[in-house]
Structure 1
Amino acid sequence: MAKGPQVDFLVVGAGVAGLRTAVELARFGDVLVVTKESLGESNTHYAQGGIAVAMDGDQDIALHLDDTVKAGDGLVDRRAAEALVSEGPLRVAELIEWGANFDREAGSEGEAGIGHFLRTREGAHSLARILHARGDATGAEISRALLTFARVHKRIRFSEWTRVSGLVVADGRVIGADLAGAEPPRSKSGPAGQAPHRSHVRVAARSVLIASGGAGQVFSDTTNPSVATGDGIALAATVGAELADMEFYQFHPTAFALEGAPRFLISEALRGEGAWLRNDRGERFMERYHPLLELAPRDVVARAIAHESMADPTDAQSPPRPVYLDMRQVRNIDVPARFPGISAFLANYGLDLRHDLIPVRPAAHYLMGGIRTDLVGRTAVKGLYAAGEAACTGLHGANRLASNSLLEGLVFGARAARSMLSDSLPLVPVEPPGPAPPTLAARETRRVQELITGLQASMWAHAGLLREETLMRQGLADQQACQSALAEIAAQRRSSRRLSEAQSLCFIARAILVAALARTESRGAHFRNDFPRRDDANFLKHSALGGEGQVRFEAW
């Protein structure tokens, strides 16, 4: 039988981590980057806030390390944090050399050197070290620069509108992947992934990197794009990779909260420039919660907003009261020029940052947990690596420091590439796959979407910002019902991208719930009403979830 196509390295995901890995790998081998939508459609592209980097030498690096450790509420792996802050300046300098354009101080546009870039401060940072691009389009600019650099590289190929339907394993090692391609949809209306399949191939690879991002779509309220369904994390787990810290999902404090509008991210950078938070009585309330006020760690600010929005603070299910972001008192900057993307979005709803209170509320934003890796991207499965939001090195602990995620992708993407190269695994030919399964019928497709919507609502209600056992047990029951319904549909031996995403989301939901139930304390982004205190005696440890589905806690 004929052998299938081969490539040295397969990278799943085209965000900052995947692209940075691909660029490093391409110096020594051929790379195929697959992404299930168009290039640039990733969590990276939508990142507004900025990229944190210590630019002023050893003292600045030490402060960045300290801020990262403090924000993580006791669970940051210090070795991972040291790698991030010490290697970060070099990775950002490389990015600038490759064409990334960050905002500069007024009057320094023509001058060389990283010190002339405009730096701002965000939550839980001790000083201004955040770089931005076009005000609030930092992720888009980083994506543009990396894509432009990668596209001209002769050893990097891209496959858009392609999902990984399975990993190929032989003798305990990942040796390739099954790829399902689809024509781009003619319209972005309706659920993603309903285009007919055009290809079904099995690709052999010396090693595979998962850099497919997080899983914010498991919640009904999220700042994440539709692609963030946790596919890569679920795929890795199915072949034996261990997951870690899945209970720690960061809820960004300030997503747009107008009825009927998307949960558009209102960047933390606004609070860095002096914006206040007010309740429906007009009170600036953060002084009651943290000495850093609006610049407290994200988990603190998000819970404060949740508390202020409760009509009855003793009832987590009470109808919400509005909370607002107030930038009207900020007079030292040109607000529309500093935040052009946010200003343009708000204008669609008749709102102006300079004159109006902006309704906000928390939304699922970033997964601190994921596929457990070492500090150079290796998972528990030979031949399988992970980087970026899909991975968990312990870098973020229980709560990620603002603007560390883009830097993480650069630093740990390069690190993962170096370990993939040094491991130098041989290429093992793979047999072609069987025929592609037929596409799911329209009725079943509608049913899949209904199941996803129900799961998202359940996870928001039962495993969101404020948790307790009775709520999470109900969430687990809902997840099990969803899983059973999806199994019935899958038994028809038909396939679709949306069915695959539903299965991934259902898997992620269970991982979050069982880990959150097992951690009977409150720490960072994981807050339990029934266990409201941090318990270092029992839980100064990371959660680990293996193939048996049981949670254990380990000190790293």
Structure 2
Amino acid sequence: MPQTDFLVIGSGIAGLTFAVKTAQQFPDKTITILTKAYADETNTKYAQGGIAVVNDDEHDSFDKHISDTLIAGDGLCNEDIVRAVVTEGRDRVDEIINWGTNFDKDTDGEYLRGKEGGHSEFRILHFKDITGFEIERSLLAEAAKYPNIVMNNHWFVVDIITQHHLGYLVSKSTVGIECYGVYVLNMQSGEIEQLLAKLTLMASGGCGQVYRTTTNPRIATGDGIAMVYRAKGRIENMEFIQFHPTALYEAGVSPSFLITEAVRGDGGILRNKEGEAFMERYDPRKDLAPRDIVARAIDSEMKRTGTEHVYLDCRHMDKEKFLHHFPNIYERCLKSGIDALTQLIPVAPAAHYSCGGIKVDEYGRTSIRNLYACGECSSTGLHGANRLASNSLLEALVFAHRCHEDSSRAIGSIGFREGIPEWDAAGTTKPKEMILITQSLKELQSVMSDYVGIVRNDVRLARAMRRLDLLHEETERLYEASTLSPQLAELRNLITIGYLIVKGAQFRKESRGLHFNTDYPQHSRRIENIVL
């Protein structure tokens, strides 16, 4: 029976940072990383803008970064967590620099810092417009140095193993739910195997594919969040889905290509169909207002003018600087027939980031024993109702370190659980028609995009829930009768994600941050985090 001391689900910045630190401390223990695609196919890879960190005490301060984060979070941030991430982040960024991560510098060797929406100072470290790609590259190279890190590509984690699989009744009220490892689909053999672990880290990324238009890669199907929910773990604040204001508009193209907020930080201006710079009508910070405000403003302009996009104007920007800082954006726009320096870029909001997720404490511990979570799949209290731009990579580094510290203290007292049954696929057959899966996915994405997008109301949410109930019922019948495939597993997970988003939105009888309900347009009394 396969066993590992530490199991890491996901190979983005959170999972790799945890794995490297753990391998350094425990050269005699095995760290196994599972990823359902290739190791570098993660949300981290697609992060363009950069990582927000205070490492310039002359012009910036921890207190300024903390204040910016709290303002963006709209009253729901955990201030202690915000302070911890901001203050500890400097050392964590220094670590990945020491591991070989490059950030842009000027001719004097000083870091070039960008500014994005909601930030009061220039504090975004970046590597051109492919910061995430550079971080992923360096972390994979560092992880490859440790023989006790085992990387397994094309392994799809199906479920967390708990007492439920030993025949015990496990519910939300069960005290002491424990994680013993996972059932995992070997995508090459088609067999479902069990992998036991003393400690498991869920670092499975986001869930943008629940929407029709998203900047997330196709792997972002919310698998970790859905698995933990099925295992009766606590999930919170899923109603807060961040829509990035400026994805390149191309009808029918998904994932959408992200036009980083740093373009507006360097002077890009949003314009509507009439050519008006409209953001000044919505917020005094104009184009550099927090993302929730900018996304709603664009949505309002699109509805007012009857168009499917607005424009980003970069024609006045310094050509040499633009080409140096945003070479990939320039080349990608050219492929679509747009010269970003002489033509307006059509942009529209796209689902981008989940501010909620698996509820964790200050050390990344979930409500299930021996199970940690960090990165986008987790809800730490940092983001509150709206994530401040470029805080996500910093959060992943800090919480990967905290998960490592706590799990290192715990590992010595944990053993492997015996008697775990094999996966039972008796009586199932391969689906005769893949359209039953592909069409249900399209329906789900349409329901979420049309009824549970940037602006919501109670009627839309109720209609979405009825549609989701039917999709859930149909998909569960298919699941019970079918041999499990990655496509079917992802569909089940995305339906669960849709349910969690809608249920959280129905409970929140106010508009706050990324959740805007026209039936409750104002903040009411303080409504705390919604835990499901």
Per the shorter chain, which TM-score range? over 0.9
* 8 Å Cα contact 1:204-1:427 kept in structure 2: no
CA distance in 2 between partners of 1:199 and 1:341 (Å): 40
Q: Corresponding residue for 1:411?
A: 398
Per the TM alignment, residue 439 of structure 1 is displaced from its structure 2 partner at its CA by 8.4
Q: Is the 8 A contact 2:334 2:340 kept in 1?
A: no
2:476 equivalent to 1:487: yes
C-alpha deviation, 1:8, in angstroms: 0.5
How big is the shift at 1:490? 1.2
What is the CA deviation profile of residues 204-246 of structure 1, one whole-angstrom value per residue up to 9, with x for unaligned ones? Answer: 1111111101111111111100111011011111222100111
The residue that corresponds to 2:170 in the other structure is none
Q: Aligned residues: percent identity?
A: 41
Which one-letter code corresponds to 2:55 in the other structure?
M
Q: 1:308 to 1:159 in 2, by over 3 A?
A: same
Letter in 1 for 2:78: D
The match for 1:90 is: 91
3-state DSSP of counterpart to 2:82: helix
For 1:364, the equivalent position in structure 2 comes to: 351
Equivalent position of 2:360 in the other structure: 373
Aligned to 2:378: 391
Q: Please give the alpha-carbon distance, in whole angstroms, between the structure 2 residues aligned to 1:321 and 1:161.
A: 37
Looking at structure 1, the residues matched to 425 and 96 of structure 2 have their Cα atoms a distance apart, in angstroms, of 40
Aligned length: 513
Give the match for residue 251 of structure 1. 243
2:467 pairs, out of 455, 460, 478, with: 478
* SS of residue matched to 1:543: coil
Residue in 2 that maps onto 1:118: 112
1:293-346 deviation digits (Å, cap 9, x = unpaired):
10000000000000011147xxxxxx5353100000112753222111111111
Residue 30 of structure 1 aligns with which residue?
Answer: 30
Name the amino acid aligned to 1:155.
N
Distance 1:518 1:178 in 2: 33
Match of 2:342 in 1: 355
- Report the counterpart of residue 64 of structure 1 in structure 2: 65
Q: Secondary structure at the match of 1:324?
A: strand
Distance 1:338 1:168 in 2: 46
1:56 Cα shift?
2.2
* Pairwise CA distance, 1:130: 0.3
Q: Report the Cα distance in structure 1 between the residues aligned to 2:513 and 2:242, rounded to whole angstroms.
A: 9
Q: CA deviation at 1:258?
A: 2.3
Partner of 1:177: 182
- For the 8 Å contact 1:16–1:409, the answer to whether it is kept is yes
Distance 2:427 2:93 in 1: 45
The residue type equivalent to 1:350 in the other structure is G
1:89 & 1:440 partners in 2: Cα distance? 53
SS of structure 1 residue aligned to 2:61: helix
Is 1:444 the equivalent of 2:445?
Answer: no
Report the counterpart of residue 273 of structure 1 in structure 2: 266
Match of 2:15 in 1: 18
Superposition deviation, residue 64 in structure 1: 0.8
Give the counterpart letter for 1:177 in structure 2.
V
Within 5 Å, give how 1:513-552 maps onto structure 2. 513-535=502-524, 537-539=525-527, 541-545=528-532
**Aligned counterpart in structure 2 of residue 428 of structure 1, from 416, 423, 434:** 416
Displacement after TM superposition at 1:538 (Å):
4.1
Taking structure 1 as reference, are residues 275 and 484 closer, same or farther at Cα in structure 2, changes over 3 Å only?
Answer: same
Distance verdict in 2 for CA 1:483–1:303, change over 3 Å: same
Q: Distance in 2 between matches of 1:461 and 1:85?
A: 36
Which digits, 9 at most, give the CA deviation of each residue in 1:282-303, with x for residues without a partner?
0000000111110000000000
Name the structure 1 match of 2:169: none
SS at match of 2:239: coil
Q: Secondary structure, in 3 states, of the residue corresponding to 1:361?
A: strand
How far 1:349 sits from its partner (Å)?
1.0
Give 2:206's match in structure 1, choosing from 176, 196, 214.
Answer: 214
- Cα distance in 2, alignment partners of residues 21 and 538 from structure 1: 35
Partner Cα distance (1:36, 1:258) in 2: 28
Aligned counterpart, 1:228: 220
The 2-side partners of 1:76 and 1:476 are apart by 28
Q: Does the C-alpha gap of structure 1 residues 434 and 72 become closer, same or farther in structure 2, counting only changes over 3 Å?
A: closer
Q: For residue 151 of structure 2, give the secondary structure of its aligned residue in structure 1.
A: strand
Asked whether the equivalents of residues 44 and 143 of structure 1 are also in contact (C-alpha less than 8 Å), the reply is yes
CA spacing shift, 1:239–1:261, aligned 2, 3 Å: closer
CA distance in 2, matches of 1:50, 1:434: 42
Change (3 A) 1:320 1:442: farther
1:437/1:341 CA distance change after superposition, 3 Å: farther
SS of residue in 1 equivalent to 2:270: strand
Instruction: Classify 1:438/1:83 alpha carbon distance in 2 versus 1 (closer, same or farther; 3 Å).
Output: farther
Letter in 1 for 2:222: G
Letter in 1 for 2:435: R
Note the 1:93-242 alignment, pairs <5 A.
93-105=94-106, 107-108=107-108, 111=109, 116-133=110-127, 135-170=128-163, 172-183=177-188, 197-242=189-234
Deviation at 1:440, TM superposition (A): 6.1
Distance in 1 between residues matched to 2:414 and 2:428, nearest whole Å: 35
Alpha-carbon offset, residue 260 of structure 1: 3.3
Whether the 8 Å contact between 1:438 and 1:495 is mirrored in structure 2 is: no
What is the alpha-carbon distance in structure 2 between the residues aligned to residue 398 and residue 321 of structure 1?
Answer: 26
1:282-321 maps to which residues of 2 (within 5 A)? Answer: 282-311=275-304, 319-321=306-308
Bigger shift: 82-91 or 303-312? 303-312
Q: CA 1:202–1:358 in structure 2 vs 1: closer, same or farther (change >3 Å)?
A: same
Aligned match of 2:54: 54
Q: Name the CA distance, whole Å, in 2 between partners of 1:219 and 1:69.
A: 27
SS of the residue 2:448 aligns to: helix
RMSD: 1.6
Which residue identity is paired with 1:12?
A: I
**Contact 1:256–1:266 (CA under 8 A) maintained in structure 2:** yes
Q: Structure 1: how far apart are the matches of 2:427 and 2:19?
A: 33
CA distance in 2, matches of 1:237, 1:471: 24
Following the alignment from structure 1 to structure 2, what is the Cα–Cα distance between the partners of residues 321 and 391? 32
Amino acid at match of 2:283: H
Q: For the residues of structure 1 that align with 2:303 and 2:230, how far apart are their CA atoms?
A: 40
* Residue equivalent to 1:548: none
After TM superposition, the structure 1 stretch with the greater mean CA deviation from structure 2, 428-437 or 362-371, is 428-437
Instruction: Select between 173-182 and 35-44 the one with higher mean Cα deviation.
Output: 173-182
For 2:181, the aligned partner's letter is G
The whole-number CA distance in structure 1 between the counterparts of 2:115 and 2:263 is 10
- Is the partner of 1:359 in helix, strand or coil? strand
Q: Deviation digits for residues 426-448 of structure 1, max 9, x if unmatched?
A: 12144462466798645432211
Q: Indicate the larger mover: 490-499 or 165-174.
A: 165-174
Alpha-carbon spacing, 1:440–1:327, altered in 2? closer, same or farther (3 Å): farther
